[in-house]
Amino acid sequence: MKKPQQPLSDWHLHCARRTLLGGGVIAYPTEAVWGLGCDPWDTEAVERILELKQRPVEKGVILVAASVDQIRFLLDPLPPELQEKAVANWPGPVTCLLPDVLKQVPEQVRGRHSSIAVRVSDHPVVRALCETAGFPLVSTSCNPAGRQPARTSWQVRRYFEGQLDWLVPGQLGGNRQPSRIVDIVSGKQLR
């Protein structure tokens, strides 16, 4: 049986916030795997994550938020029925593809897509990080392309020793698989 998740200390949150605001890249536990994150509007930080992962910019990355309010700017331009479809999945381990109608998210985050992948997490560490930062974070699995996503902090260190600016302590959530991805326009489940 898993131990209950311990809340992050104020010191860990302060260090993570300072790292994110300073253009840094962090690793942190999510619902199923460790994630890499940064400020999505910091172009250099996003490019650094893509380099670490050896991920083509065309693929894009996910945004993760603490609450629907943090991503309200992406929901408000959508018709009410699409907003309701997305919000019905959150908080939780479901990533929704939202049309980025006003192109409010940088191209490095969106990739070659006209939509943006967004999740409102129920993981306590992810929520605390987003609340402390004051904005949604880039969230992508913590692994180089072609390798298994990290499931332990030891594996994070093995993949990226000396290349990350902060490793946030904590435990993974109870999910065995990464978040489902649902296109809210078509209703198709992509993962």
Structural domains in the chain, sorted by start = 10-183 (3.90.870.10)
Minimum mean pLDDT range among 78-82, 170-174, 187-191: 187-191
Q: Render pLDDT for 159-176 as a digit per residue (tens, 0 to 9).
A: 999 999 999 999 999 888
> Does the structure show a pLDDT above 60 at 151?
yes
In this prediction, residue 6 carries a pLDDT of 65
Dihedral-angle region of residue 134 (phi above 0 means left; psi in -120 to 50 means alpha; beta otherwise): left
> Which residues lie below 8 Å from residue 164, measured CB to CB, with a gap of 6+?
25, 26, 27, 36, 52, 156
In this prediction, residue 76 carries a pLDDT of 97
The arithmetic mean of pLDDT across residues 132-156, rounded, is: 96
Q: Confidence band (pLDDT; 50, 70, 90) for 1?
A: very low
> Does the structure show a pLDDT above 80 at 61?
yes
Dihedral-angle region of residue 102 (phi above 0 means left; psi in -120 to 50 means alpha; beta otherwise): alpha
On the question of a cis peptide bond just before residue 91, with omega within 30 degrees of 0, the verdict is yes
The arithmetic mean of pLDDT across residues 21-46, rounded, is: 97
